[in-house]
Amino acid sequence: MKKLLIVILLSCSSALGWAAGTAAPALLPAEFAGWQKSPGSRTGQEPAAADPANAALLKEYGFSDFEQAAYVRPGRKITVKAARFADASGAYGAFTFYRQPEMLAEKIGSEAASANERVLFYRGNVLVDAVLDRMTAMSAAELRDLAAALPVTGGNAMNPPSLPAYLPRQNAVRNSTKYVVGPIGLSDIGSPLPASLVKFEDGAEVVEGRYRTDEGEAELLVIGYPTPQIAGDRLKAITAEGATMTLHAKRTGPYVVVASGPISAGEAKSLLASVNYDADVTWNQNTFLSKRDNVGNLIVGVILLAAILMGGALLVGLFFGGFRVLMRRVLPDRMLQNAKDGEFISLKLGD
């Protein structure tokens, strides 16, 4: 009985040790750029604890856990709140949601924006919201050190979504880009399309941008689908719905582009024409000749081999001939006798 109890205890200890070893690393570092983390940081794995008002949206973006801590140095304080997501797409989407129109772009992490003492940035799959007691000339550099210390994930999960790159930049309203991956985010951005038309269950992702026109502010949606076939089916449904709404739509590759708002047909056509899918083709064979396949290198190799053989034959001939000459000088009598013994024997049959 005692042995069984010991085995059970050891198994439980091993399981607990394995779980602790595989747990996600702490979000915020103990220190960065001279700032020290104060005791009593707050952590959690529930999105409602991180942001009660937008818990459902955070969950839609793939929220994992969060940590809130204060960093101090003599006479200074920074409050930092970090949220971890399943991948960089979730962190980027949350970044576009929390970014405010008045914020200015900063070079911190993957992308950043600031307004007075508040700095919002993300790096990889981690979003950080920092509030400083005051801004200094070194604040941006210090936050870059913080971004470098974040425990980001690796592999493809580190790559941000490619869909926002298709939004045109001309006449774009600052900080109007929003990236959503579900119906809650689509509703929050005030999309003219309902989630039933977009169909996120088909693997859709949406990026929205707003643009200045002569008649007002227009909205441009780019909806990405896994295949062009799905995009074609969705375009038919959206076009049918657009007959009762002020919508202009087209398909380019696996993307459906929708323009809406106070915009003329000509401006809508121009706005739609600025979005074109560009397929990335990966060629898995060499597009150049290797040294082994290059005919010129083969000819050069043959010439070098012939020169080496000729040089070797010359050296052997010189060595053999020089050896005989040397032996004749050193042992003339013996070499002469050997020469006589090796003379051609004639039978003289004519006599």
Reported as a pLDDT band with limits 50, 70 and 90, residue 10 is very low
- Integer Cα distance of 337 and 334 in angstroms: 5
> In the block, which residue shows the tokens 């960065």?
32
Distance (Å, whole) CA 43 – CA 34 = 23
Stretch 318-345: mean pLDDT, rounded? 67
**Phi and psi, residue 161, nearest 5°:** -65, 145
Domains of the chain by residue range: 24-157, 161-279, 295-338
Please provide residue 55's backbone torsions phi and psi, each rounded to the nearest 5 degrees: -65, -45
How far apart (Å, rounded) are the C-alpha atoms in residues 320 and 341? Answer: 20
Q: Looking at the structure, give the CATH architecture of the domain made up of residues 161-279.
A: 3-Layer(aba) Sandwich (3.40)
Class of domain 24-157: alpha beta
Q: Please tell me which of 3-17, 39-53, 316-330 the model is most confident about, judged by mean pLDDT.
A: 39-53
Model confidence pLDDT, tens digit, residues 32-81: 999 999 999 999 999 999 999 999 999 999 999 999 999 999 999 999 99
pLDDT digits (tens, 9 = 90+) for 329-342: 777 666 556 555 55
Mean pLDDT for 179-203 is: 94
Q: What is the pTM assigned to this prediction?
A: 0.73
Instruction: Summarize the confidence of residues 147-156 as an average pLDDT.
Output: 88
Q: What is the mean pLDDT of residues 175-188?
A: 96
Domains 24-157 and 161-279 are alike in CATH topology: yes
